[in-house]
């Protein structure tokens, strides 16, 4: 009972194939937009810092600061003209507006008051825009924005007409 052929064995290493995860997932924080809005409401520009959009902070302060400057300037001019008009009604004509009559002083008051109110509307508008920007930016950080999706204007050659027409193409690469 001898065998004429040989049997050979091979050692098999037990191992698992590991598939590398190529997608990088970050946990979604549902409170992130709320925090960004709160921080921007607390201190203008702080929501942008929280979202790591540091370049927006000077824009926030430039917009609000410029509007506050014009509010202060128009308020000072309004008070000067108003006080001159009150003194004029009391019988004093020794102010810096002695060359203006009463109607022109009233008109100047209305103009400065209107500009002052517009300036305050701009202050409030830029403040609210700061909060909304921080909120939207925090929302958009949670979305996957990649180069696979493109949106661009394009010239489309029509089969019916000999002229090319303007259109928009949306491309998605897999």
Show me where the domains of the chain are located.
Answer: 32-143
Q: How many residues does the chain have?
A: 174
Higher pLDDT, 126 or 2: 126
Q: What is the mean pLDDT of residues 45-68?
A: 96
List, for residues 108-167, the tens digit of each pLDDT value: 999 999 999 999 999 999 999 999 999 999 988 877 666 676 777 777 777 777 777 777
Position with higher pLDDT, 59 vs 165: 59
Q: Are the C-beta atoms of 138 and 35 separated by less than 8 Å?
A: yes
Rounded to 10°, the helix 102-140/32-42 angle is 150
Mean pLDDT lowest for which of 1-5, 63-67, 99-103?
1-5
> What pLDDT was estimated at residue 8?
54
Q: Distance between CA 64 and CA 62 in Å, rounded? A: 6
Tokens of 164: 């090319």
Bridge-partner residues for 131, per DSSP? none
C-beta of residue 144 within 8 angstroms of C-beta of residue 172: no
Distance CA 156, CA 169 (A): 9
pLDDT at res. 9: 54
pTM: 0.68
């Amino acid at each position: 009972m001898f065998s004429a052929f040989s049997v050979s064995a091979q050692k098999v290493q037990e191992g698992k194939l590991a598939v590398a995860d190529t997608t990088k997932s970050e946990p979604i924080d549902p409170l992130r937009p709320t925090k960004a809005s709160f921080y921007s409401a607390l201190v203008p520009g702080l929501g942008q810092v929280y979202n790591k959009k540091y370049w927006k902070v000077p824009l926030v302060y430039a917009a609000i600061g410029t509007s506050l400057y014009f509010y202060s300037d128009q308020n000072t001019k309004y008070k000067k003209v108003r006080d001159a008009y009150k003194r004029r009604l009391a019988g004093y004509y020794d102010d810096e507006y002695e060359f203006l009559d009463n109607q022109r002083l009233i008109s100047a008051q209305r103009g400065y008051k209107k500009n002052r109110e517009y300036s305050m509307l701009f202050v409030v508008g830029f403040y609210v825009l700061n909060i909304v920007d921080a909120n939207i930016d925090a929302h958009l950080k949670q979305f996957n924005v990649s180069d696979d999706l493109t949106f661009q204007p394009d010239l489309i050659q029509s089969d019916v007409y000999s002229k090319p027409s303007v259109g928009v193409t949306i491309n998605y690469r897999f």
